[in-house]
Structure 1
Amino acid sequence: MAETTGRRVPKHHGLSAKTLRSLEHASGRLASASVAVMERRLVWFGRLPADQRASVLLITQAGAAGFVSWLRDSKEALKLTTEAFRDAPAELSRWISLRQAVGMVRLAIEVFEEQLPEFAANEAERAALIEGILRYGREIAFAAANSYAAAAEARGAWDARLEALVVDGIVRGDAEEAVLSRAAALGWDPAAAATVIVGNPPSEDPPTVVFEVRSRAARVGRPVLLSVQGSRLVIVIGGPTDGGVKERESLSRMSAVFADGPVVAGPTVPSLAEAHHSAAEALSGLRAVVAWPGAPRPVRSDDLLPERALSGDPGAERLLVDLVARPLEEAGPALQRTVETYLETGGVLERCAQSLFVHPNTVRYRLRKAAELTGRNPTEPRDAFVLRTALTVGRLARARGLW
């Protein structure tokens, strides 16, 4: 009898087994009381659908049960609290922000602080319960923050993979529906204008590239899609880039994110569905830009038509014919002959006039007319090169029966 009387009842955190059993039986009631307070004090919580509020109740009940387990074995505290909220991010993070989740934890702790003292057998247990819920609440808050961070990281990794699929699909010319549906999942406006710009990535570390491009895009105020494809970085910029000064400046500012080397921008297309055309032009320009050492940065693919044609791009050949050679021929033999002679005489006005047996002012007039028709001024060295190449390509195309 004396031996039985001397046996000590084990306690956990200074709590008796009877108190722990009482807490265990009341965990559901405590969780329901916590949710009721949330409904009264959190305006946004009351707007949640019933199924989502029910999910919060289940998670709160798991947290309450975890508190009792935590009291039984504090050495397993971190593991138990993490497990208690293990499934929370999969549901909560879709419709409740981390700030709101922490607010719910705070309210639940307040409810527990108010109601836990009634389970205490004495003042010592009362103090132990209050201290325990404060420590456990801290553990839960950290566990929730870690879980939200992990969920955000997982979503970010998935978004990055999906984004790479979108850009790869644009480059390959995949089916329009597949590209648009994936882009829509990333929040891209399918009706927004798009421009593809390519160059060297600023780093060999993909996360660093993503961070730098996103940071630059945020400062420029433009949505972007990006993908690192081997040694090249492909960026799709949303919105116009070929209008006024502000639009052109946004393209120049985004070009600064690329590493040293040429940067080529394709034409701006009306929507993402047509972005493959911009990508094909930009990549063709990137392959040919090495032939123009003095190319600006960025350089438009349309400004690389001679180099692209010389590198075997049939699309560039067609553009040179359609934009330059054909308009000159349709304007009449006198205008085309004047441009050809001016180029052949090295751009010397008087020699050109003598060869054509016309007044120099006539040559000036015809050259201005040619510039209006083609957008290329024969008196400018770069434009003269474009005109000469276009006329040569036009002759070859006609000889092959392509024109």
Structure 2
Amino acid sequence: MSTSPPHVPVRAHWPRPGLWPVWVVPLFLALFQVFGTMAAQHSGERGERGGGPWSHGGGGPPDYGIKELDGLGIALLLAGPALLLLRRRHPAFTLVATGLVTGLYFLRGYTYGPAPFAAGVAMLAAVTAGHRLLAWAGTGAALAAFFGITAVIGIPLERRGEAGRLFPVEEPTLPGTAFVLGWALVVLVTAELLRMRAQKAAEAARTRAEEERRQASEERLRMARELHDVLAHNISMINVQAGVALHLMDDDPEQARTALAAIKEASKEALTEMRGVIGALRAQGESAPRSPTAGLARLEDLLARARSAGLQVEAEITGDRRPLHAGTDLAAFRIVQESLTNVTRHAGSGPVTARVRIAYGEHEIEVRVEDDGRGVPLLDDHPGGSGIRGMRERAAALGGTFAAGPRTGGGFQVRATLPLTDDLAGTEAETPLGKG
């Protein structure tokens, strides 16, 4: 049976301009600037209102001269959009070159129209690419130079475009200067807003990626703890029982048979739990199973296997026994399991007694495992040891406390306190034994 999610239709949407092919905007602007300027010139020739930025206003026919488009004028209108093909790789060069082309177009006194649009796009590209100082200072310096030149070589507005002059540009006027400065300011402010929006989107994407990496790392750590606990406990039991079987094979075949049966049971459980963990790792196209594979409901089975390995195990459960949160239940079981595994491996020869105490409180559960063996240094101090560290991580992940160390009078003790809440957010807290 397929586990694929049902097909949900996805609404089509336009890609962001940054994802468009680089030639789309230049092609549109080339057509728009050429044909828009021709339309503006045709309108001016018919005596309709032209309304250039240097116009004095009013109604009726244009009050400024018009220089008809020639080959140079059309080339300048196409050069700006052509330069925009470089805006993604060389935004600074594109801004400077487009500004020069646009300035030359207006110095020649050609018809007003959409000619500045290419320069506006170059300004947007420079700001969003990070060349903010160049865009603001360069635009200001370019406009100051343009108005300075036109103040020196300019002619009256009505003579604009007059034949016989190389640069038949009009003298700057207050309304025209204010219009151009306002237009440039609007473009630059719009570019800044687009830049900030892009930065926020990039930061959000980085945050999502970091969160996904953190969750994946935590999941790998959880899987590693599960595999360690399953393998360490069951293989330790198998190792002990195998030693017993080999030792008693000739003298006590019945006891050897019992040890072999215990090996079979331990290996079967190890395989079952490993399949559950590896199945979660292999899960594709569906949510990995989150429910624990073990809990305190299986405590008696765990103690029985420890006894079959030769340990003398005493258990005590106090308080109002009740169902636990899944994470707390699994952590308590694994702490007992790992503690008994460590007793089996490190408590030394001779009869060893392990005491397991589970105390249910009103807001927390305490897990305590003690033994009267010879004791060992903390496993965290051993380069290859990860049992104590894994138990501490389980307790810290639940916001609980953990302590482990030698007992007074010999042996070793592990103590963990886990909160009985659904809140899994907590920080690691450790307390020394004998305090708190």
Shorter-chain TM band:
0.3 to 0.5
TM-score normalised by the chain length of structure 1: 0.35
- Give 1 or 2: higher helix fraction: 1
